[in-house]
Amino acid sequence: MELLSLLNNKEKELGKIVHLKKNHILFHENEKCEHIGIVISGNLTISSYSLNGREIIYNFISKDEMFGNNLIFSDKPFFRGNVISNSDSEIFLINKENLLKIFADNQEFLLKFLSFNAEFTKRLNFQIKLLSFTSAEERLTYYLEENNPLSFKNVSSLAKTLHLSRETLSRLLSKLIKEKVINRKGNILYLVKSV
């Protein structure tokens, strides 16, 4: 269900819609988060750069998803990276004061907001656990245990999801298929047994 569909016209007037062109920076790294944003159309990335110039992507935000929701009530509400549009995008922004007014009057919106935050926390905890596995084999099997069967676009995209190199993942898939730990049918992986 779209978050904005839960707001009446009066509540929608408490926010504002901004239109972004592709590659526009909506908020800069270390800028104070004073609004939550809901993507109406398009998509965004929150990213920064390491000292050696490598891009670090913190989050992808698609249509009907929020950002800033985990910062706006924080004691240090500053963006960890630039919020950049990946395409022409339309974003609904609402400040903290008006968000609290909506929460007070619209329980359905509040519940959806809390549900979104809970799901985000679950995904974050999953990523932390995934990255805690130092061996590529443990990382892959853990991911498959949680997503069995797993449909994936290609080996490169799956490697990126697992934070592994494409070469490492290709070798690992061949090994685990040979050992009958996993089965592969096209772009679907089935975990047969845990390692």
CATH number for position 87: 2.60.120.10
Q: Residues with Cβ < 8 Å from 27, sequence gap 6 or more? A: 33, 79, 82, 83
Residue 57: its pLDDT value, please?
Answer: 79
Same domain, 163 and 112: no
Q: What pLDDT does residue 131 have?
A: 87
State whether 159 and 72 are in the same domain: no
* pLDDT at residue number 195: 54
Assess whether 102 and 29 both reside in one domain: yes
Same domain, 138 and 187: yes
Residue that terminates a domain, selected from 91, 122, 153: 122
39 and 97 in a single domain? The answer is yes
- Which residue from 32, 18, 44, 36 is spatially nearest to 94, judged by alpha carbons? 36
**Strands 35-41, 66-67: parallel, antiparallel or unpaired by DSSP?**
antiparallel
Report the predicted TM-score, pTM, of the whole model to 2 decimal places.
0.75
Do 89 and 8 sit in the same domain of this protein?
yes
Low-confidence ranges of the chain (pLDDT < 50): none
The verdict on 158 and 113 lying in the same domain is no
Whether residue 46 is contained in a domain is answered as yes
Contact 162, 139 (CB under 8 A): yes
The predicted-structure confidence for 39-96, as pLDDT tens digits, reads as follows 999 999 999 887 888 777 788 899 999 999 989 999 999 999 999 999 999 999 999 9
Q: Which domain holds residue 14?
A: 4-122
Distance from C-alpha of 138 to C-alpha of 195, rounded to nearest angstrom = 8
Instruction: Judge if 43 and 101 occupy the same domain.
Output: yes
Say yes or no: 32 and 100 in one domain. yes
Q: Are both 28 and 87 inside the same structural domain? A: yes
Q: Are 86 and 43 in contact (CB under 8 A)?
A: yes
Query: How many independent structural domains does the chain possess?
Result: 2
Residue 127 belongs to a domain? no
- Residue 128 falls within a domain, yes or no? no
Does residue 76 sit in the same domain as residue 155? Answer: no
Whether residue 116 is contained in a domain is answered as: yes
